[in-house]
Amino acid sequence: MANIKVIYQSRSGHTEAVAKEIADECGTTAISINEPNMLGPADLLFIGMGVYAGHPDSSLMDYLDQLPVNTIRGAAIFSTSGRGVDNTHLVVNLLEHKGITVYPKPCLLKGQFLFVAKGRPDKRDFRKAREYAREVMNAFNGE
């Protein structure tokens, strides 16, 4: 896989920390959607999102909505939330509508919110994120 990119949206820094682990595993740099950046084409795009009140942040949805068609071959989604539940369907639908193949299994991790999931994400979560990155890269490479 030649061109892998990792982007994330993070309010508290939890998703950012996970994005950096995934980017390191992929040999690239994690990019905040708030940084001025021309994303450009990608064979595989890892998308990190925090889940707030059960939904991805609207800034992430706006960012993804602006992605040009036919520049990203595949995507994989990882998220952090206090409850650790899957709320990625809105992102999946948006990406698939743009013709982007989305890896069918998101990586769902806990992120601390007030007193819920205190200390998360932690080393176990980072290990899980790195394993997820390898799994996705292998799948997109046809292994």
Domain spans in the chain, listed from the N-terminal domain onward: 4-140
Residue 9: name the closest of 54, 60, 58, 44 by CA. 60
Has residue 120 got a pLDDT over 80? no
Using one digit for the tens of pLDDT, what is the confidence trace for 26-73? Answer: 999 999 999 876 788 899 999 999 877 677 888 999 999 998 878 899
Superfamily of domain 4-140: Flavodoxin domain (3.40.50.360)
Return the beta strands (E) in the chain as ranges: 4-9, 30-32, 42-52, 55-56, 72-81, 101-102, 107-110
Mean pLDDT confidence for 107-132: 77
Nearest of 9, 52, 27 to residue 133 by alpha carbon: 27
Averaged pLDDT, 120-124: 84
Instruction: Give the pair of three-digit tokens for residue 22.
Output: 């995934």
Q: What is the pLDDT of residues 17-28, one digit of tens each?
A: 999 999 999 999
Could you tell me whether strands 72-81 and 4-9 are parallel, antiparallel, or unpaired per DSSP bridges?
Answer: unpaired
